[in-house]
Amino acid sequence: MLTSITEGILCCLTGKAASLVLPLESSEPSNGFEFVEVKPGRVLRVRHIVPERQPVVTEDQMSSGKKKTKEDSNEDDGGSEDVMKGPPKGSSVHCKRKITVYRNGQLVIENLGDVLHSEILQCQDGDLEPCSTVEVELADYKELASSPEPNPMPPRVPPHAGDQKPAPPPRRRRRKPKRTVLIDSKRAISSCKGTQSDVALFFVHGVGGSLDIWGSQLDFFSRLGYEVIAPDLAGHGASKAPPIAAAYTFYALAEDLRAIFKRYARKRNILIGHSYGVSFCTFLAHEYPDLVHKVVMINGGGPTALEPSLCSIFQLPSCVLHCLSPCLAWSFLKAGFARQGAKEKQLLKQGNAFNVAPFVLRAMMSGQYWPEGDEVYHAELTVPILLVHGMCDKFVPMDEDQRMAEILLFAFLKVIEEGSHMVMMECPDTVNTLLHEFFLWEPDMSKTESIKCDTETKATTNDIVQKLRANKTVDK
């Protein structure tokens, strides 16, 4: 700690920023690590693991004595069953909803198509809900709605007992919508297996983290045959750290991840984000709805627009943050983990988490400005989303993820009681199992078809009854 204070004082005296994070030499250069230049001079470290899939031989090729690999079969999905059947079609889900924003800050979401919700996902079909209407209040109007009226009406004097008359119903003003968004599309949702070559998993970390926090997930899913991609954000891990604050705004980082996504994307991509990384996954899912197949949000918070806090400790000069770095690391350990033992300290060290330069940390927190990412932006998503929340999380309250689940079209909420903000490091087995079940999940729309058949049958019965009544009237 004394060294940090000394370096911070020298930083203040010289006027130079504290030492920036520079690209580190990877200790395992052959274990899937790559350095990608997303822009001139902007280099990110990416861990890219491509599983070695065995060549697949079909029955016709076996009879003819000729081997044909997966690459020779027009890149069909891996696995003998997938090659025989071709690419999976999946279940077609009708995404239809009307989103209306009123001037008083009220958001009304009318679900007119198929809606799938389930609190606990056990690799089973989600519960089909009928058409419903969701009314929420925009985050920007919370304080405004609770404030008293500027000109309150005087109290009404009750009439005498003999003059009492029923009060007329209150007249409601016709609300004028400020904005209306209509969504009417169909989405094919299928099971994603590691043996299928058109599936790729993208892992995105948050502020102060690195791709190493996903170590358990990368090893687990790569062993199952999945292709995994995990980048280090600029200034984090072994990625290059530009010396200007504008390099760490939300839009600059989002463009970096767009370049990584376009470089490694397959036909069906699953995005897994943690904390601040959830916002970038939401951005990519909104920009590429046809390529993003599913999304996992781990302790990402509510569906509100991003705006930096002016009263945050991260607004202090970089030299002061450098002096306070031991205290900040201890605070992160206490708030990010449910327990603060030797195991958690070792996880932080192995995951290279919260090990960034003060300048990068300050620029990251100040650059979290994304006004487009509001409730309407999230309500427009039609991709299935799994929400994972650690019950002991002190950074993200539980009600924020619950609000996110209400606004999203296809949302599954899972709460891990023994987990906190870094739940994927604390409970890797639980998180890996939960994610794998979600990857394999495929909705069964037979219930919807039966409901439609029942509705059509009822309609036909009503028509027959009306015709019989009409005939009786004519006979009379």
Residues noted as catalytic: 275, 393, 421
The burial class, CB within 10 Å (0-12 / 13-18 / 19+), for 226 is: buried
Residue 296 · residue 271 · CB < 8 Å: yes
What would the two tokens of residue 21 be? 């994070």
Specify the amino acid at residue 395: F
Query: Cα–Cα distances in Å, from 127 out to 119, 185, 294, 412, 448?
Result: 9, 20, 18, 10, 10
Question: DSSP code of 370?
Answer: B
Bridge partners for 295 per DSSP: 271, 385
Give the containing element (helix H, strand E) for 75.
none
Measured distance CA(195)–CA(193) in Å, rounded: 5
Across 122-149, b (16+ Cβ under 10 Å) vs e yields eeebbebeeeeeeebebbeeeeeeeeee
**Residues ≥6 apart with Cβ < 8 Å to 133:** 108, 109, 110, 111
Query: Cα–Cα distances in Å, from 144 out to 137, 139, 150, 173?
Result: 11, 10, 12, 19
